[in-house]
Amino acid sequence: MSFSSSSCMHVDRHNSVHLGRHSNHELHHTIHSDIPFFGEDIGPISFKDWIWDTEKLVQPLFSKYSFIDILRHVTSGFVGRAFDWWQERQYLVKKGRISCINTFYELKT
Counting the structural domains of the chain, the total is 1
Q: Domain range spanning residue 59?
A: 42-109
Tell me the pLDDT tens digit for each residue of 49-102: 888 988 888 888 888 888 888 888 888 888 888 899 999 999 999 999 999 999
Reply yes or no on whether the pLDDT at 16 is more than 80: no
Please report which confidence band the pLDDT of residue 24 belongs to, taking 50, 70 and 90 as the band edges.
low
Q: Is residue 20 part of a domain?
A: no
User: What's the pLDDT at 93?
Assistant: 93
Reply yes or no on whether the pLDDT at 3 is more than 60: no
Contacts of 63-70 spanning 24+ positions with Cβ under 8 A: 65/24, 65/27, 66/3, 66/5, 66/24, 67/5, 67/102, 67/103, 67/104, 68/3, 68/5, 68/7, 68/9, 68/17, 68/19, 68/102, 68/103, 69/23, 69/24, 69/27, 70/27, 70/103, 70/104
Q: Is residue 100 part of a domain?
A: yes
Q: Is residue 18 part of a domain?
A: no
